[in-house]
Structure 1
Amino acid sequence: MQWRALRYFDTVARCRSLRQAATLLHIAPTAVSRQIDLLEHHLGTPLIERGPDGIRLTAAGELLAAQAQRTLRDFERVEAHIADLRGLRTGRIGIQAAEGIVSGLLAPALASLSREHPRLRFDISIASANGVIEALRRGEADIGLAFFMPQRDDIVSVASAELTHYAVMAPGHPLAKAESLTLADIAEHALALPDDSFGVRQALDRAAREQGVRLAPSFHTSSLETQKSLAMAGGAILVLPRMAVARECTAGQLRAVPLKQTELAGARVDLCLYRHRQRSFAMEACLSLLVDALEDLSPDEREVP
């Protein structure tokens, strides 16, 4: 089976369109179709079904699509390791991260790494802690960065940092001028929180139960941007590390009031890898920079000025 045919099929499976796949591959649709025909002949079964609304994968096509993604990712990693041997300093890094870590930690670190090694490429996706674990296991990510990563035997924590939780709200909110707040204080107001698949929410619910406080969020959303928009509109209080809203706080769009430390434990940020994956130069360079970034999160930087 030719690598080209497998790569073309993988693109078609992701696009669900021969024409879109051809555009991404910079070739004619007939060339894509010809490679799919070759694969179907080699395997002795149809892989796609063409229809007026595009294409859909057959059962055999779904099986091949899943395997093709894994095989092509593994081949890319082998290419990266060979490039390492040649001293080319190239490679692609898949990163899954919690949204609240991106602007304050991940983006500055990757921008610096890209300037130092312009031939590196990055695939960045947003996920919860459980989503990060599954992506690492499936090989969809090389590096995971999330809050409250559950302990797993096959997931290695390379570095961690503790961040303080804050109640985040619009500057005109009735609680915005407080020096500090308790969970009971914020429970009296509208809250916007992620669902319980997120570690931050699980920690918040545990702390509320221990203190006999009932939290009834007015808004459930896993989107940090949606949470921030609700807070800026005066519609809700958020519970987040200040790093997640540092830009908005600096701009005066939001106010972050610390929660009393006895109320809620700090938010642990974990930098993780899959235990059995060989590390390339690209991974090592990225890890080194992210470890330094976590270590640079000093107590002063974690607190509101």
Structure 2
Amino acid sequence: MPRHLETLRLIEDVARAGSIRKAADDLNLTSSALTRRIQRFEEEFGAQVFERLPRGVRLNAAGELLVHHYRMQRSDFERVQRQVADLSGVRRGHVSIACSQAVQPYFLPRQIARYRALHPGVTFSVHVRDRASAEKDLVTFSSDLALVFEPLHLADFEVIASVPQPVYAMMAEDHPLARHTAVRLRDCLAGPYVMPTSPLGVRHLIGLAAAKISGVPKPVVECDSFELARHYVLEEQAVGFQIPIGLDTGRRDGLAIRPVSQRDISAGHLLLGQMRRRALPVASAQFALQLTTALAAMEVEAAEALSA
């Protein structure tokens, strides 16, 4: 890493630690040495970047701008390194992606394995995030891409691809509602049910629809894990909720999966995106293209299934 970026990295480390002493310990430096380096930088920069507090430090407005600049510079530098590696014929790189947990069990592992079959030198970081945290990951450059259901803000989110995802109900095969090809939300909420927690997009859609139903009982279980919900409905005559990309309809494990009528809950959208106006690293840009193709194919398959 270039020397000027190294100094900025130290400033980011101090900001993260909230204390020069703690950051120095983490970096195996003396507090005085780290303080002098920051002071020299501030003199050259022409402004202080930290607000000194009784028990530590925090970035001031100038420091926030500086750290954001550093993250952009670091990202651009890594992108150029990967492009040069591509030019030299060395197929390597790294893809970091923030995703809704619905894409974690089936869709994303298959897509990563498919990509690495063609580019075995590329590694991946997968961060399971709720819809607000996924967007924050893009802004802080913690992730290159986000694949998230019903994003919250979209201020810095540049949409690469979008695919509709209706809400499905999960239940044991001997549940009374399993006799139907589609279910109504009122019937799902009439008995015990498992509800996703509020940060999740599925909960947002169900909450909007359930607000129109009077006398809705409270969930017997509220959790931020669709996997827990999937297993719990097999233990009690309860109903859980998920979107299609998080389900494996070919499995035979005693689970019945039925669409919730879109008269009750409108389909949400799964969006693939990146930070607005950011030039992605080569490997991430190529993986985004593969995901776009896969999502488009999934949408076509869903439309054909509805018309069959």
Class of the TM-score when normalised by the shorter of the 2 chains: 0.7 to 0.9
Aligned partners of 1:96 and 1:144 also within 8 Å: yes
Q: Is the alpha carbon distance of 1:116 and 1:266 closer, same or farther for their aligned partners in structure 2, counting shifts above 3 Å?
A: same
Q: Quote the residue 1:206 is aligned against.
A: 208
SS of 2:125's partner is: strand
Q: Quote the residue 1:53 is aligned against.
A: none
SS of 2:179's partner is: coil
Q: Quote the residue 2:128 is aligned against.
A: 126
Aligned residue type for 1:218: V
Aligned partners of 1:146 and 1:269 also within 8 Å: yes
Q: Deviations over 1:225-246 (max 9, x none)?
A: 2222322322631111233131
Q: Quote the residue 2:286 is aligned against.
A: 285
CA RMSD of aligned residues (A): 3.9
Aligned partners of 2:71 and 2:140 also within 8 Å: no
After TM superposition, list the pairs within 5 Å mapping 1:128-207 onto structure 2.
128-150=130-152, 152-207=154-209
Q: Quote the residue 1:295 is aligned against.
A: 296
The alignment's TM-score, normalised by the length of structure 2, stands at 0.74
SS of 1:296's partner is: helix
Aligned partners of 2:182 and 2:260 also within 8 Å: yes
SS of 1:239's partner is: strand
| Deviation (angstroms), 1:172 | 3.2
Q: Does residue 81 in structure 1 map to residue 80 in structure 2? A: yes
Between Structure 1 and Structure 2, how many residues are aligned?
288
Aligned partners of 2:202 and 2:243 also within 8 Å: no
CA distance in 2, matches of 1:256, 1:76: 42
How high is the sequence identity, in percent, across the aligned residues?
19
| Deviation (angstroms), 1:280 | 2.3
SS of 2:176's partner is: coil
CA distance in 2, matches of 1:276, 1:253: 46
Q: Does residue 90 in structure 1 map to residue 85 in structure 2? A: no
Q: Is the alpha carbon distance of 1:83 and 1:181 closer, same or farther for their aligned partners in structure 2, counting shifts above 3 Å?
A: closer
| Deviation (angstroms), 1:183 | 1.0
Aligned partners of 1:5 and 1:35 also within 8 Å: no
CA distance in 1, matches of 2:174, 2:15: 49
Q: Is the alpha carbon distance of 1:215 and 1:207 closer, same or farther for their aligned partners in structure 2, counting shifts above 3 Å?
A: farther
Moved more, 168-177 or 132-141: 168-177
The alignment's TM-score, normalised by the length of structure 1, stands at 0.75
Aligned partners of 1:80 and 1:91 also within 8 Å: no
Q: Is the alpha carbon distance of 1:12 and 1:116 closer, same or farther for their aligned partners in structure 2, counting shifts above 3 Å?
A: farther
Counterpart selection for 2:247 from 245, 248, 253: 245
**Structure 2 segments unaligned to the other structure (5+ residues):** 43-54
**Structure 1 segments unaligned to the other structure (5+ residues):** 23-28, 44-55
| Deviation (angstroms), 1:168 | 0.2
| Deviation (angstroms), 1:98 | 0.4
After TM superposition, list the pairs within 5 Å mapping 1:59-78 onto structure 2.
71=70, 74-78=73-77
Q: Deviations over 1:104-130 (max 9, x none)?
A: 322211111122112222221111211
Aligned partners of 1:173 and 1:234 also within 8 Å: no
Aligned partners of 2:99 and 2:128 also within 8 Å: yes
Runs of 4 or more consecutive aligned structure 1 residues displaced over 3 Å after TM superposition: 1-15, 31-43, 56-60, 66-74, 210-213, 300-303
Q: Deviations over 1:16-70 (max 9, x none)?
A: x99xx79xxxxxx7x8999969868979xxxxxxxxxxxx98668xx99x98798
Q: Is the alpha carbon distance of 1:69 and 1:229 closer, same or farther for their aligned partners in structure 2, counting shifts above 3 Å?
A: farther
CA distance in 2, matches of 1:35, 1:105: 48
Q: Quote the residue 2:257 is aligned against.
A: 256
